Chain A
């Protein structure tokens, strides 16, 4: 279960990172 928990948290962290990266790119387009 520890391995599963770590894996789940890692997936969640990756998702948050991808979303934030996309968000920053989108915002910069509008700021131009």
Chain B
């Protein structure tokens, strides 16, 4: 059994290296037949650039998603804290018979905005 498994493993390794060699030879042939020139890149180079920008896009997308979620959470937390604080201040002003400080137009506008 053990021998069979080793044999199978060797076959996979052989296939793997064969595939690498085939790819290498093809790329080498294309680069040789159509070397990159100043204005023109060959198809292999472009193919590599395409896969590079795909992986760069995936990396940036994976980085962006959690940040935007965290921003939303922070904003919600700030809103909750702000409204609690403002409510409490108004209650305190009532309790101490202090004159309620009215919100300025600007403050009203941003309160609406934050709501």
Q: How far is the CB of A9 from chain B (nearest CB, A)?
A: 6
The A-B contact count (CB < 8 A) is 38
- Interface range for A: 10 to 19
Q: How far is the CB of A23 from chain B (nearest CB, A)?
A: 5
Name B residues whose Cβ lies closer than 8 Å to a Cβ of A.
Answer: 53-54, 57, 60-61, 64, 68, 71, 75, 78, 82, 86, 106-107, 110-111, 113-114
Name A residues whose Cβ lies closer than 8 Å to a Cβ of B.
Answer: 2, 5-6, 9, 12-13, 16, 20, 22-23, 25-27, 29-30
Residue of chain B at shortest CB distance from A6? B57
Contact B78 A27 (CB under 8 A): yes
Interface of A is mostly: helix
* B68 cross-chain contacts in A, Cβ below 8 A: 12-13, 16
